[in-house]
Amino acid sequence: MVRPIGILAGLGFVAVLLWSLVWGAVAFIQEPPQPTAEHEFHKHPRDAGLSSAGLLGKYDRQQLQRGFQVYKEVCAACHGLKYVAFRDLQDLGYSEAEVKAIADQWAIETPSVNPETGEAATRKNLPADNFPSPYPNEVAARAANNNALPPDLSLIAKARHDGSNYVYSLLTGYRDPSPELLREFPDSKPGQGLYHNPYFANLNIAMPPPIVSEGQVTYTDGTRPTVDQMSKDVAAFLTWTAEPKLEQRKSAGLASLVFILVFCFLAWGAYKNVWRGEPH
């Protein structure tokens, strides 16, 4: 008795699924989804041409240092790097003394506790500390940014599709809405406190253009600080914060590939030697 009931219940589920599938297909044909501004006018990221891209790509340490300088002078006022420690900067080519100086002179100090009173306090940053958030909490962050929450940038290059190119394209993508967009979708015009950027998911972003003019940052290595160059450099730096072991991962992958190829060749040779036919 149990088996027929189970079979009937299974057939019922299959029938419901088939009905839902057919009904959904009919509804899609009769009333196809309406085009949206995000679907028609959203742009895919442009290629930043970073040296870390590609199968054998490697980081350009000088570019990473320039990118850190852009982050420090432009981005750090609103965005944190909570998963990156000051001492990690040694991987970019900074000496131990330079890292100590960067941590000690960082504008935001690390939250602490006064050992004498037990009250909340702050102290100078140490190389072992992670980069402190520019805001004490989410409420303060939203209050300072018209209720928009600036995301932490530690993993932004991994959290967004094609993250390195996305960061570069977003920083260089601010512009006025096109006449075609406003004609087809009048509601897409940025409201108060919003800025049009076709590389952002819904076209309008609360972050004002952070890099606005050439020379906004003065590079110590003499590189010309154009808007495009600064955007590429900070995109490279944020790629490193998201994947600090990228070079080791690629090296390990290449070594594994070579090993597999050699192993396959040896296995094929052993097969031909062991299983070869007897001579007639």
If we measure between CA atoms, which residue out of 265, 274, 240, 243 comes closest to residue 61? 240
Could you tell me the two tokens for 1?
A: 């008795």
Residues of the chain scoring pLDDT < 50: none
DSSP, res 195: E
In total, the chain counts a number of residues equal to 280
Residue 200 pLDDT: 95
The neighbouring-strand residues paired with 204 are 196
Is the separation of the CB atoms in 234 and 71 below 8 Å? Answer: yes
Residue 63 pLDDT: 97
Whether residue 264 is annotated as binding a ligand: the answer is no
What CA–CA distance (Å, rounded) separates 203 from 147? 18
If we measure between CA atoms, which residue out of 155, 176, 180 comes closest to residue 166? 155
Residue 208 pLDDT: 95
Is the separation of the CB atoms in 65 and 92 below 8 Å? Answer: yes
The neighbouring-strand residues paired with 196 are 204
What CA–CA distance (Å, rounded) separates 68 from 74? 10
Could you tell me the two tokens for 101?
A: 């100086």
Residue 27 pLDDT: 65
Q: Domains of the chain (ranges plus CATH)?
A: 37-84+150-248 (1.10.760.10)
Determine the straight-line distance between the first and last CA of the chain, rounded to whole angstroms. Answer: 67
DSSP, res 41: H
Whether residue 1 is annotated as binding a ligand: the answer is no
Give the CB-side neighbour count of residue 1, counting CA atoms within 13 A: 0
If we measure between CA atoms, which residue out of 224, 176, 228 comes closest to residue 198? 176
Residue 83 pLDDT: 97
Could you tell me the two tokens for 108?
A: 């935001």
If we measure between CA atoms, which residue out of 214, 194, 193, 213 comes closest to residue 203? 194
Residue 61 pLDDT: 96
pTM comes to 0.83
If we measure between CA atoms, which residue out of 172, 89, 93, 166 comes closest to residue 81? 89
Burial of 141 (0-12, 13-18, 19+ CB in 10 A): buried
In 266-276, which positions are buried (b, 16+ CB within 10 angstroms) versus exposed (e)? eeeeeeeeeee
H/E stretch holding 263 reads: helix 246-274
Residue 277 pLDDT: 62
If we measure between CA atoms, which residue out of 239, 235, 225 comes closest to residue 199? 235
